[in-house]
Structure 1
């Protein structure tokens, strides 16, 4: 697998290759804002992207864990925030009572827009929720990354993995209308961009830690073979909409999640640590949960004329 990541180090932007281990020394390649996105648009194939980013670049060796090193979501345009986090719901076969037939007509799954790319959080950063969630649920998902060229044509860059934390309790109170409210929790994303086609098989295990000890564990799958709809149909449909084809826009498309803690009757609480071990791909994504502050009187005040 070809894997690329971007990061900031001492105020400069860099790219690296592979998934570095904590404590290891890793070579970073100096890049400019937008250089990796341009390489994805111009290059043909993973090796060409890697070459465009690394060949002839100024390099620096950094110890992974250095406090001045900060990883970034793949391709995130930090200077313009021209990025959107969006995704699909109810996509897994585990949530259907039958398998699709080969000649079944494509029906688009439910879709949502989570927020701006700057709302994404990296591994080990806390994920902020509403102050009084009803029933939180972790959602390990494949996240496809696309960048639009100057004509608005989407170019597939690769995939990574995310945790689409949300309040399923709000969703269940009014499934037809309140899902956007349920999604108003921060989302974490792994910085590692796999420069390959969307994965067919992704497996792993979720552990919810409470007070430093496992409180719940369960397996998950989120590759294309676990989905009811075909990934190609899902992405082609949603990216056909002009509003998602604006020049320069980076799209993070979350493909949906398997059954999780909620389906086992477990409630995630403030301070719990969610550990998503994507064992099939050697990626661990861990984030603590942090309840947000309650709204103040001023923030609830209705504007008057």
Structure 2
């Protein structure tokens, strides 16, 4: 069962509910955020909240996507209260690419990436939480959250513009500070891998980019094995494609361990805040020496998550001028 935010044919924001092949509008519901808030207060699951509202007319989801009327599956009324964050080196196989990017001249010396990965293998799935903390990074707030079909803009100072196909957990913090997971969505954790490769300490800079997620919010637990394909299209033709996997069967951490190490910080348990937390990947076109170009379309597809997530790449037209700070 999935939740989707759309603009209906009259121009109004609505929430739709998909169960199997049928998608219908949720009655008297304009946003996923409001629906989730009501569910938390009522002590309901999202499925129960939808059932209480009732379903209305059927939606042609494919047509809505083609017409640009499908939105990200959740937003916050104040974008500053939506947090885009993520974890890295969490997937089996993810260390190989990262290790090659940060390898020293001494092949016997482990990079920090490989050390972090091995820590996850050893202690990321503990019998009792918490386990070892993962690599963690910040991407931005809701102003950097890009909806399905919208352009991912690479800044003028960027050295690379590469996709990262991932699964994201979607969360809303309840009135008492308890994180509530609404479900999971496809995500493109857009990054600058050339900047990161220069020095591992540039990782934070490389991650301060927009990210896209959706189109559908998959309710319930994440399957143990998730399998899909990541593609890049140029002028309508696929120039690169590769399968990717996720889910705990393919990870060195439990989802619960990643969630604990994010939400253990009180700053991330502010009532009403939304979190889109990306869980990492092991598949990058950058690892296959693909150089993306303006107009390329990133495409991430997993059958269990419904509609594919597509976003074109846009490059900033000019270099960013030096930012001058004014003294008051």
**TM-score of the pair, normalised by structure 2:** 0.80
Q: Distance in 1 between matches of 2:137 and 2:36?
A: 24
SS of the residue 2:69 aligns to: strand
Q: CA deviation at 1:108?
A: 1.1
| Partner of residue 254 from structure 2, selected from 206, 211, 230 | 230
Q: CA deviation at 1:244?
A: 0.2
Q: Deviations over 1:105-145 (max 9, x none)?
A: 82211111111124211222111011253233211111101
| Partner of residue 29 from structure 1, selected from 27, 30, 37 | 27
The answer on 1:17 being equivalent to 2:17 is: yes
Greater per-residue helix proportion: 2
Q: Which residue of 2 aligns with 1:262?
A: 286
Q: Which runs of 5+ in 1 are unaligned?
A: none
Q: CA deviation at 1:51?
A: 1.4
Q: Distance in 1 between matches of 2:50 and 2:76?
A: 19
* Alpha-carbon contact 2:14-2:25 (below 8 Å) kept: no
Q: CA deviation at 1:170?
A: 0.8
Equivalent runs, 1:32-71 vs 2, <5 Å: 32=30, 34-41=33-40, 42-52=42-52, 54-55=53-54, 59=56, 63-64=60-61, 65=63, 70-71=69-70
Q: Distance in 2 between matches of 1:25 and 1:213?
A: 30
Greater per-residue strand proportion: 1
The answer on 1:122 being equivalent to 2:147 is: yes
Q: Which residue of 2 aligns with 1:290?
A: 314
Q: Distance in 2 between matches of 1:209 and 1:197?
A: 31
Q: Which residue of 1 aligns with 2:231?
A: 207
Q: Distance in 1 between matches of 2:23 and 2:263?
A: 39
Check 1:231–1:211 CA distance in 2 against 1; reply closer, same or farther (3 A cut). same
Q: Which runs of 5+ in 2 are unaligned?
A: 96-113
Q: CA deviation at 1:215?
A: 1.0
Equivalent runs, 1:1-305 vs 2, <5 Å: 2-9=1-8, 10-18=10-18, 27=25, 29-32=27-30, 34-41=33-40, 42-52=42-52, 54-55=53-54, 59=56, 63-64=60-61, 65=63, 70-79=69-78, 81-96=80-95, 99-100=121-122, 106-176=131-201, 178-295=202-319, 297=321, 300-304=323-327
Q: Distance in 2 between matches of 1:25 and 1:150?
A: 30
Check 1:27–1:234 CA distance in 2 against 1; reply closer, same or farther (3 A cut). closer
Deviates more, 1:2-11 or 1:144-153: 2-11
SS of the residue 2:200 aligns to: coil
Check 1:19–1:164 CA distance in 2 against 1; reply closer, same or farther (3 A cut). farther
Query: What RMSD, in angstroms, separates the aligned Cα atoms of the two structures?
Result: 2.8
Q: Deviations over 1:243-277 (max 9, x none)?
A: 00001011111001112211112122221111112
* Alpha-carbon contact 1:19-1:192 (below 8 Å) kept: no
Q: Deviations over 1:167-201 (max 9, x none)?
A: 0111111212x222212322111131111113321
